[in-house]
Amino acid sequence: MRILITSGGTREFIDPVRFITNASSGKMGLALTRAALKAGHKVTLITTLTDSRLKTQDPRLIAEKVDSADEMFKAVKRHFKQCDCLIMAAAVADYTPARPSKTKIKRANESLTLKLKPTNDILKWADKHKKKNKIIVGFALEDKKVRANAERKLKEKNLDMIIANTPAAIGSDRISVHIKTPQKQWLKLHKTTKTIIAKRIISMIGIKYKYGRP
């Protein structure tokens, strides 16, 4: 398979030197990339991290560096048609500054109001352009009603798989995740390394691609 993976947290620039971001480490996306390569798949990685974090020269890997949600959206659109599976592991910002300043904003003694606008919904776009047999996998980070909110996202985005976790997973090496595919029960992996979780996810995707399940 050719698997398209996104990784890391996006940067939404307020001005040339300041930006809004999140606490995503990008470790899950990198673990998925390594697991996919180890399983024999080809990988296109769209990431906000530097290529050196991967520490591999595997010729089956194409890595593309992006910063913002818009750049990630454009990169996904470029590579989506050629992939068999999209795994959206990146923490893409939901909002971005409506009018970023072209010059550095100077300090002042009055309050500063920052107007934000929604970013493009990459998973929603992918669902609209999905062809037969293409697999789309999403992640859901929830601080309450983890399974209920994640399952709603699974249905609304028409995903083939959702992986849900909590803020405790950010930056951690051992985490608990909940995995759901349509018409199947939830699978929980408790306090497991991201390497093992990634291997399990890639294995499930491989089975679905080959046999049309789980």
168-182 tens-digit pLDDT = 888 888 999 999 999
Q: Tens of pLDDT along 50-72?
A: 765 667 778 999 999 999 999 99
Mean per-residue pLDDT, 182-191: 94
How high is the pLDDT of residue 53? 64
Phi-psi region of 171 (alpha: psi -120 to 50; beta: other; left: phi over 0): left
Query: Where are any strands of DSSP class E within 93-134?
Result: 95-97, 116-118
Q: Which of 22, 120, 149, 158 is catalytic?
A: 22
Whether 117 and 98 have beta carbons less than 8 Å apart is answered as yes
Tokens of 48: 């906000």
Whether 20 and 11 have beta carbons less than 8 Å apart is answered as yes
Note the pTM of the prediction, 2 decimals: 0.94
How far is the CA of 104 from the CAs of 31, 115, 134, in angstroms?
Answer: 37, 17, 43
Residue with tokens 């010729």: 59
Domain 2-95+116-211: CATH architecture, name and number where available: 3-Layer(aba) Sandwich (3.40)
Task: Please report, rounded to a whole number, the percentage of residues in the chain having pLDDT higher than 90.
Answer: 86
3-state secondary structure of 91: strand
Residue 22 annotated among the catalytic residues of the structure: yes
